[in-house]
Amino acid sequence: MRGYLSELGNRPWIWLVGITLVSVLLVWGGRAVMPWEKMLADYITYWTAGKLVASGQSPYDVDRQIQIQRALGWDRSVNGRGVLDFLPYYYPPWFALGCTLLVPLGFEGGKIVWFILNLEMLFVSCFVLRDAVPGVPRSIALVAVPLCLFSVEALIAGQTTILILFLVALAWRLLDRHRDRAAGAVLACLTTKPQLAAVLVLALGIWGVRQRRWSVFHGFAATLALLCLASSVVVPSWPMEMLSATRQTLPPTEYFPWLGNTWYLILRTLGLRSWSLWVLFLAVALPFLWAVVRTAIDPGRPVRDVMALGLLAAFFVAPYGRDYDFPVLWVVALVLIGDRLSEKAGAALLIGLIVIPYLQLILLVRYSRLIVPEVDFYIECTYFWVPALLAILWFATDSRQRPSVTA
């Protein structure tokens, strides 16, 4: 009987059916106790973009975004923190094309489906990651990743971070199994959130060249070309519109840099401006990028090292990032626990990543107003210790991972 149950547990379709049922039940039961009207705050921008594209309009049209979101109850003083007239759409248009599938369900119906999809993608990501790193107990990914504060925040906000985590886990699995063309297609989809995945995609591109795995490029180029072609049919001028979106409507971190969790925003939070800001930013960002490139061109490095460092680099190179983007850093943590840290150090890191953020949240909610009286939200930048700690551990243990190369 035990062998039979073990065999069933190793069949992916059994897991997928089980995960789907659990996701639906959790959402159905959760709606009875959750403040549903405040949940999935970021979903409004996806539904707005889908509605605009479905009606033949640009998802970057500011006036139409304002009109639709005000009709849905958007309030500048409440939802926009006093500075945003609407929640702007910054993603590529192919994501908006996907969001058109939610439009026939109506705003509330699409919101429920988005929540279910996000929850299912989180659980599937954990299932895929459970076997990703040898030496890491399978239960760690299955339990730690969905229970951590940042995954919960991403779910509550309705953020796309869960989608990126799912795509990263899928690309990792495909590359490990040498299904390179499919992996390249998944990497093309990762460009949906460039600030989080751009360095990773670049790193894996360099790694693919070094390993002579040309099918990765074939899949990536074909899929990206298809996405761009479909987007151009719907929004012919989308490249310029997408690039100008952040100039037309500044992100909230331009007003409140302490909302962000990247090295650039930490420096801005500290009050740095002009040349001092850029000198200190580049002093960290450029060496980090070089470390990524050096790892990618090293023939002895496994793909998991390239993926982990590429994801970690985003928080030191990209200008924008939030604490709800941290779920992707579990890839880094799993590699550290499995390959680099002792058993005790790995256990301490695991417990710290799960427990400390919740304790920190309690303190921030209670005392943030004493530090910054004019805001009604906690100071998120204090969570930057997470990528900073992972970076310190990564480079402190990096030398012992480099294989000796003999002629």
2-40 pLDDT per residue, tens: 443 344 445 666 766 777 777 777 777 777 777 778 888
Q: Where are the domains of the chain?
A: 137-401
Structural contact between residues 52 and 96, judged by C-beta atoms closer than 8 angstroms: yes
pLDDT at 405 over 50: no
CA atoms within 13 A on the CB side of 140: 23
**Which tokens is 258 given?**
């302490």
For residues 156 and 81, which has the higher predicted lDDT (pLDDT)? 156
Cα–Cα distance between 84 and 253 in angstroms, integer? 11
Query: What pLDDT is recorded for position 50?
Result: 96
- What pTM was estimated for this model as a whole? 0.91
Could you please report the per-residue DSSP string of 231-299? Answer: HHHH-TTHHHHHHHHHHHS--GGGT-GGG--SHHHHHHHTT--HHHHHHHHHHHHHHHHHHHHHHHH-T
pLDDT tens by residue, 115-150: 989 999 998 998 899 888 888 888 888 889 999 999
Q: Specify the range with the lowest mean pLDDT, choosing from 8-12, 291-295, 335-339.
A: 8-12
DSSP three-state, residue 342:
coil
pLDDT at 12: 67
More confident residue, 221 or 11: 221
Could you give the maximum distance between any two Cα atoms of the chain, in Å? 68
